[in-house]
Amino acid sequence: MLLSELQFASDQRSRMDTLIRSYAAQDSKTGLNNRLFFDNQLATLLEDQEKVGAYGIVMMIRLPEFDLLRDNWGRAAAEEHYFTLINLLSTFIMRYPGALLARYHRSDFAVLLPHRTLKEADSIAGLLLKAMDALPPTRILDRDDMMHIGICAFRSGQSTAQVMEHAEAATRNAVLQGSNSWSVYDDTLPEKGRGNVRWRTLIEQMLSRGDRGCTKNLPVTRDGRCITVN
């Protein structure tokens, strides 16, 4: 009798612990995994306790700011379209075994893709944007500016903070590119993904010098001067 009661109490504690952990890992607004759970899973991979040379991809997906949509269109309409995008993300990521989707911060969502390469991530990002394009049109969201994706590779030995900083930097680059796009952070090629920023600087230099006669068809030097052809 005593043994059965002890076993029952142990089972109850185990179920309660599981329930507490599940709530602690869940984002209260979306029902997805939360930032704490995501960071813990990434940290476990980076620690690579089995010494197998863990690697993979982190994708940061930036959606339209919910508060801005709510202020412009009302809570009901904003939530409807916000959760349409979240359901799209959740359904899409389920295609990839071992992938983890989490709400990371406000309208930023993080995807953990263990044992994936940058080449695979490029393909995944392209497919995700195509899936988004298939959504019904809406006047609330600009279809050409609904999603920006930052991609970075990780490997064992890095810190969680470093990996997420790289993902955030790539996401900022994607936003700077405008329209729906993705950008890849590559620490072996530090200039990759920064082309738009450099071109914007050149154009600003040209305009400040009054080179308004320069058209997009004319070649430009590195310091922003038009090359005229006689």
List per-block mean pLDDT (blocks of 10 residues) for the chain, which spans 230 residues: 56 48 73 94 89 91 85 83 91 96 94 95 95 85 87 94 96 90 74 38 50 44 46
The answer to the question of residue 61 being in a domain is yes
The answer to the question of residue 40 being in a domain is yes
Determine the pLDDT at residue 186: 66
**Token pair for residue 170?**
């790539």
The answer to the question of residue 158 being in a domain is yes
Residue 103 near residue 30 (C-beta atoms within 8 A): yes
Which range marks the domain in which residue 38 is found?
22-193
The answer to the question of residue 136 being in a domain is yes
Total tally of structural domains belonging to the chain = 2
Say yes or no: 102 and 163 in one domain. yes
Say yes or no: 150 and 204 in one domain. no
Say yes or no: 157 and 176 in one domain. yes
Determine the pLDDT at residue 1: 60
The three-state secondary structure class of 98 is coil
Say yes or no: 37 and 56 in one domain. yes
The answer to the question of residue 10 being in a domain is no
Say yes or no: 63 and 115 in one domain. yes
d(CA 49, CA 133): 41
Q: Please name every residue paired with 55 in a beta bridge, in sequence order, or none if there are none.
A: 155
Convert the pLDDT of each residue in 82-141 to its tens digit: 888 999 999 999 999 999 999 999 899 999 999 999 999 999 999 999 999 888 888 777
Residue with the two structure tokens 């090629």: 189
The three-state secondary structure class of 12 is helix
**CATH number of the domain within which 32 lies:** 3.30.70.270
* 211 Cβ contact partners less than 8 Å away, ≥ 6 residues apart: 224, 225, 226
Determine the pLDDT at residue 207: 54
Say yes or no: 40 and 105 in one domain. yes
The answer to the question of residue 11 being in a domain is no
Q: What is the pTM of this model?
A: 0.71
